Amino acid sequence: MKMTALANILIFLCLFGANFAVAQDIAIERGEQTYMRVGCYECHGTDGKGNEAGPPLTPDTLPPEAIANFVRFSPGRMPVYPEEILSDAEISDIVAYLDSVKPSPDADSIDILRGLVSEEN
Amino acid sequence: MVSSSKESKSEVGRRNFLKTAVVAGAATTLPDEVSAADSPTQAIKSDAQTKRGLAAPSTEQMNMEASTLDQLAEASSEQLASSNSADTASSFGSDFMIDVMKSLDLDYVFSNPGSSFLGLHESITVYGGNSKPEFITCMHEESAAAMANGYYKAALKPAAIMCHGTVGLQHAAMNIYNAWCDRVPLIAILGNTIDAADRMGGTTWRHSAQDPAAMVRDFTKWDDQPASLQAFAESMVRGWKISTTPPMEPIALTVDSTLQEMKVDDRDGLAIPKFTPSEPPQGERGAVRETAGLLVDAESPVIIADRLARTPEGMSLLVELAELLNAPVIDIASRQNMPTKHYLNQTRQSGRLISQADLILGLEVTDFWGQINSVNRAEMTSEPRVKEGVKLITISVNDLYMKSNYQDFQRYAPVDISISGDAEATLPVLIEEVKEAMSRSRSRALSRKEKMFRKMHADSFEESRQLAASGWNSSPVSTARMCMELYEQIKTEDWALVSVGASERFVSSWPHRLWDIDEHYRYLGIGAGGGVGYGLPAAVGAALANKELGRFSVNIQCDGDFMYANGALWTAAHHRIPLLTVMHNNRAYAQETMLVQGTANRRKRGVDKAPIGTVIQDPNIDYAKLAEGMGVWSAGPIEDPEDLRPALIEAVKVVKSGYPALVDVVTQMR
Ligand SMILES: Cc1ncc(C[n+]2csc(CCOP(=O)(O)OP(=O)(O)O)c2C)c(N)n1
Ligand SMILES: [Mg+2]
Can you give the residue ranges of every domain in chain A?
A: 2-102
Give the closest of A81, A85, A105 to B473, CB-based: A105
Min mean pLDDT across B162-176, B178-192, B367-381 is at B367-381
Give yes or no for a contact between B578 and B658, defined as CB atoms under 8 angstroms apart: yes
Q: Which ligand is nearest to the CA of B500?
A: 1
pLDDT tens across B414-426, in order? Answer: 999 999 999 999 9
Give yes or no for a contact between B337 and B314, defined as CB atoms under 8 angstroms apart: yes
- Residue B378: give its domain's CATH number: 3.40.50.1220
Among candidates B28, B27, B162, B12, which has minimal Cα distance to B98? B162
Q: Which ligand is nearest to the CA of B532?
A: 1
- Interatomic CA distance for residues B552 and B652, integer angstroms: 9
**Are the Cβ atoms of A51 and B597 closer than 8 angstroms?**
no
Residues B614 and B492 in one domain: yes
Whether B31 shows a pLDDT value over 60: the answer reads no
Q: Is B193 among the domain residues?
A: yes
- For ligand 1, what atom is nearest to the CA of residue B559? 16
Alpha-carbon distances of B538 from A116, B177, B546, rounded to whole Å: 30, 13, 12
The overall average pLDDT reported for chain A is 90
Q: Quick count: other Cβ atoms within 10 Å of Cβ B521?
A: 25
Query: How far, in Å, is the centroid of ligand 2 from the Cα of B607?
Result: 20
Residues B218 and B364 in one domain: no
Whether B10 shows a pLDDT value over 50: the answer reads no
Nearest C-alpha in A relative to B476: A46
Residues B483 and B545 in one domain: yes
Q: Is B57 among the domain residues?
A: no
Q: Is B413 among the domain residues?
A: yes
* Mean pLDDT calculated for residue range B432-438: 98
Among candidates B597, B629, B592, which has minimal Cα distance to B610? B597
pLDDT tens across B59-102, in order? Answer: 444 444 445 444 544 444 444 444 444 455 559 999 999 999 99
Query: How far, in Å, is the centroid of ligand 2 from the Cα of B476?
Result: 13
Per-residue confidence band for B12, with pLDDT thresholds at 50, 70 and 90: very low
Q: What is the pLDDT of residue B417?
A: 98
- For ligand 1, what atom is nearest to the CA of residue B560? 16
Query: How far, in Å, is the centroid of ligand 2 from the Cα of B331?
Result: 25
Q: Is B653 among the domain residues?
A: yes
- Interatomic CA distance for residues B370 and B368, integer angstroms: 5
Q: Is B514 among the domain residues?
A: yes
- For ligand 1, what atom is nearest to the CA of residue B586? 20
pLDDT over 90 for what percent of chain B?
Answer: 85
Burial of B657 by CB count in 10 Å (0-12 exposed, 13-18 middle, 19+ buried)? buried
Give yes or no for a contact between B520 and B168, defined as CB atoms under 8 angstroms apart: no
- Residue B623: give its domain's CATH number: 3.40.50.970
Instruction: Determine the distance in angstroms separating the CA of B470 from the nearest CA of chain A, rounded to an integer.
Output: 5
Q: Is B582 among the domain residues?
A: yes
Nearest C-alpha in A relative to B469: A107
The dihedral built from the CA positions of residue B527, B532, B534 and B535, taken in this order, carries a sign that is positive
Q: For a ligand 1 pocket test, name from B479, B532, B583 the mutation site with the most ligand atoms within 8 angstroms of its C-beta.
A: B532
Residues of A in contact with B670 (CB under 8 A): 42-43, 45, 51-54
Residues B233 and B330 in one domain: no
pLDDT tens across B504-560, in order? Answer: 999 999 999 999 999 999 999 999 999 999 999 999 999 999 999 999 999 999 999
Among candidates B345, B435, B441, B426, which has minimal Cα distance to B393? B426
Per-residue confidence band for B26, with pLDDT thresholds at 50, 70 and 90: very low
Residues of B in contact with A47 (CB under 8 A): 471, 474
Q: What is the pLDDT of residue A120?
A: 66
Question: Residues near B317 by Cβ (< 8 Å), separated by ≥ 6?
Answer: B424, B427, B428, B431
Residues B295 and B262 in one domain: no
Instruction: Determine the distance in angstroms separating the CA of B643 from the nearest CA of chain A, rounded to an integer.
Output: 15
pLDDT tens across B278-297, in order? Answer: 999 999 999 999 999 999 99
Q: Which residues pair with B553 in a beta bridge?
A: B496
Among candidates B659, B662, B663, which has minimal Cα distance to B43? B659
User: Which residues form the domain of B510?
Assistant: 470-666
* Mean pLDDT calculated for residue range B131-137: 98
Q: Which residues line ligand 1 (CB under 6 A)?
A: B 174, 501-502, 506, 530-533, 558-561, 586, 588-592
Pair type for strands B381-384 and B373-376: antiparallel
Residues B308 and B202 in one domain: no
Query: How far, in Å, is the centroid of ligand 1 from the Cα of B564?
Result: 10
Q: Is B19 among the domain residues?
A: no
- Interatomic CA distance for residues B118 and B200, integer angstroms: 14
Whether B611 shows a pLDDT value over 90: the answer reads yes
Question: Residues near B122 by Cβ (< 8 Å), separated by ≥ 6?
Answer: B20, B23, B94
Residues B249 and B294 in one domain: no
Residues of B in contact with A53 (CB under 8 A): 505, 508, 594, 669-670
Q: What is the pLDDT of residue A13?
A: 63
* Mean pLDDT calculated for residue range B569-579: 98
**Are the Cβ atoms of A49 and B470 closer than 8 angstroms?**
yes
- From B269, B293, B328, the end of a domain falls on B269
Instruction: Determine the distance in angstroms separating the CA of B118 from the nearest CA of chain A, rounded to an integer.
Output: 49
Residues of B in contact with A83 (CB under 8 A): none
What is the fold, at CATH topology level, of the domain defined by A2-102?
Cytochrome Bc1 Complex; Chain D, domain 2 (1.10.760)
Give yes or no for a contact between B635 and B651, defined as CB atoms under 8 angstroms apart: yes
- How big, in percent rounded to 5, are the helix, strand and coil portions of chain B? 50, 15, 35
Q: What is the pLDDT of residue A9?
A: 73
Instruction: Determine the distance in angstroms separating the CA of B480 from the nearest CA of chain A, rounded to an integer.
Output: 8
Per-residue confidence band for B39, with pLDDT thresholds at 50, 70 and 90: very low
Residues of A in contact with B594 (CB under 8 A): 39, 42-43, 53
pLDDT tens across B174-231, in order? Answer: 999 999 999 999 999 999 999 999 998 899 999 999 999 999 999 999 999 999 999 9
Q: What is the pLDDT of residue B35?
A: 36
Q: Is B461 among the domain residues?
A: no
Q: Which residue has the higher pLDDT, B36 or B427?
A: B427
Q: What letter does residue B608 receive in the DSSP assignment? A: S
The total domain count for chain B is 3
